[in-house]
């Protein structure tokens, strides 16, 4: 085990210890902004060198990274409201713009080849799924009480008594009372375990959840079990799976991560402790493979930092009354590049001598999504696995260039905005003066 892992907060810490540790770390971060900025810069350099393959000395890419061949890049770092830093990184990928331009070719073969190539690239670099399997959807429903025949010789802890419609009645050891040749169980002794994927709500309701006025009405419910009638949010589905994986780690693999009395879902402070350790834990798991443990830790952090809240945030409705990030998304069976040919086309102008202008349409790159994934941000699975924190991947839209570069002029604090506003005012005055001079010249 990496000795640094012993110095980190342990995942089986009490809630009070978790809160105390996080408050202490928060105070250190706020009291030492310079040290945090240097550490953040080091992390960004590691990302660019190790994951992107960029050589800072030679100022070029010397090895292929997770996004392929990178010609150039730029980034903008800003301070968030919680006094932590984050970056918007713009990567210029070799041949990507050429492939996008080929989507508007007059040749059907060229258009289809470009679409397939872009879809393959999307599959390698973008992810919008927790990747749950059918067996991960198991959920339980308590039954008040039951009297069943006494089978002391055959009934064991966790044994399935009957199995119909993918639902099984499971007998637990606790709460069993012998009574006149029968076994009487308490309220939680017998539970129904359904192992079917919940039936999704209709697409119309998913779209209504994006609206500022109706998102609270649905309370995030995205599906319902056809057997037991249990309603599910994406959060409930994920934590049911995490609870199952934790049980498998404890009972089958003798790998106890949390205390026996742990309550799922974990508190925010407990989850943040998991996130704080994630890079070290994943490195340890890479040397001592444990797929179930890896899947559990990965999804805990993925849900914490990349799940869009069904209640949305104020910033979601900055422009209209509908979530500008379009969450929840609809279920997507396959990775697909979608082109909106019903929208008004636009013209991409080419320089003189470099071919005809292109008539193009809005398009989006939609990774595969199943029912639990409708609120999940599009991320890069490698970055999420190594660092755990929020990373949102977008590609294909040339507006990203303006979005990232304009962040250089964005300021969260009034003192940050002052120099930019002063320069804007000076430029505006100069333009007004030139325009007035032109008007006077025309009149004369």
| Consecutive H or E run containing 98 | helix 96-102
pLDDT tens track, the chain, 444 positions: 556 677 888 888 889 999 999 999 889 888 888 898 999 999 999 999 999 999 999 999 999 999 999 999 998 888 776 677 888 899 999 999 899 999 999 899 999 999 999 999 999 999 999 999 999 998 887 454 334 444 444 344 444 334 344 444 443 433 333 344 333 434 444 456 788 899 999 999 999 999 999 999 999 999 999 888 899 999 999 999 999 999 999 887 778 888 888 899 999 999 999 999 999 999 999 999 999 999 999 999 999 999 999 999 988 998 899 999 999 999 999 999 999 999 999 888 887 777 888 899 989 999 999 999 999 999 999 999 999 888 999 987 777 777 777 766 565 555 555 666 777 788 888 888 888 888 888 777
CA contacts within 13 A on the Cβ side of 5: 14
What is the bridge-based pairing of β-strands 182-185 and 190-194? unpaired
Q: Residue 140's beta-bridge partner residues?
A: 193
Q: What is the pTM of this model?
A: 0.80
Rg (CA), the chain: 27
- The secondary structure of 185-212 as a DSSP string is E-TTTEEEEE-SPPEEPPHHHHHHTTBT
Residue holding tokens 């991320």?
379
Tokens of 192: 């129904």
Peptide bond into 388 cis (omega under 30): no
Tokens of 272: 């943040």
Quick check: 332 and 374 in contact, CB under 8 A?
A: no
Quick check: 362 and 340 in contact, CB under 8 A?
A: yes
What is the bridge-based pairing of β-strands 336-339 and 60-61? unpaired
- Give residue limits of the domains in the chain: 139-194, 408-444
């Amino acid at each position: 085990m990496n000795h640094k892992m012993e110095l980190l907060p342990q995942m089986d810490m009490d809630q009070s210890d978790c809160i105390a540790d996080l408050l202490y770390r928060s105070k250190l971060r706020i009291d030492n902004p310079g040290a945090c900025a240097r550490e953040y810069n080091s992390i960004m350099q590691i990302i660019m060198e190790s994951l992107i393959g960029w050589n800072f000395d030679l100022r070029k890419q010397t090895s292929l990274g997770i996004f392929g061949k990178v010609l150039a890049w730029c980034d903008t770092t800003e301070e968030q409201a919680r006094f932590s830093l984050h970056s918007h990184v713009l990567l210029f990928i070799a041949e990507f713009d050429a492939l996008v331009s080929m989507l508007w070719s007059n040749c059907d073969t060229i258009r289809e080849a470009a679409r397939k190539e872009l879809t393959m690239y999307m599959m390698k670099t973008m992810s919008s799924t927790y990747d749950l399997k059918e067996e991960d959807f198991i959920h339980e429903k308590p039954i008040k009480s039951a009297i069943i025949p006494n089978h002391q010789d055959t009934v064991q802890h966790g044994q399935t008594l009957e199995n119909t419609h993918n639902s099984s009645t499971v007998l637990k050891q606790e709460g069993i009372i012998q009574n006149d040749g029968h076994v009487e169980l308490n309220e939680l002794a017998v539970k129904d375990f359904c192992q079917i994927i919940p039936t999704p709500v209709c697409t119309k309701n998913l779209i209504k959840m994006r609206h500022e006025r109706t998102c609270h009405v649905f309370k995030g419910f995205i599906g319902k079990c056809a057997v037991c009638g249990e309603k599910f949010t994406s959060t409930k589905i994920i934590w049911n799976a995490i609870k199952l994986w934790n049980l498998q780690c404890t009972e089958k693999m003798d790998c106890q991560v949390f205390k026996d009395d742990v309550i799922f879902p974990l508190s925010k402070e407990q989850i943040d402790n998991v996130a704080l350790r994630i890079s070290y834990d994943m490195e340890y798991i890479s040397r001592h493979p444990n797929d179930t443990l890896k899947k559990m830790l990965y999804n805990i952090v993925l849900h914490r930092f990349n799940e869009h809240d069904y209640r949305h945030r104020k910033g979601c409705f900055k422009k209209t009354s509908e979530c500008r990030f379009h969450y929840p998304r609809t279920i997507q069976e396959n990775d697909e590049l979608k082109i909106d040919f019903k929208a008004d086309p636009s013209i991409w102008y080419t320089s003189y001598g470099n071919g005809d202008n292109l008539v193009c349409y809005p398009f989006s790159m939609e990774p595969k999504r199943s029912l639990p994934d409708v609120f999940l941000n599009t991320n890069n699975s490698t970055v999420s696995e190594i660092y755990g924190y929020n990373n949102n991947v977008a590609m294909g839209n040339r507006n990203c260039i303006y979005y990232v570069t304009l962040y250089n002029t964005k300021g969260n604090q009034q003192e940050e905005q002052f120099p930019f506003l002063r320069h804007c005012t000076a430029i505006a005055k100069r333009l007004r003066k030139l325009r007035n001079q032109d008007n006077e010249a025309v009149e004369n």
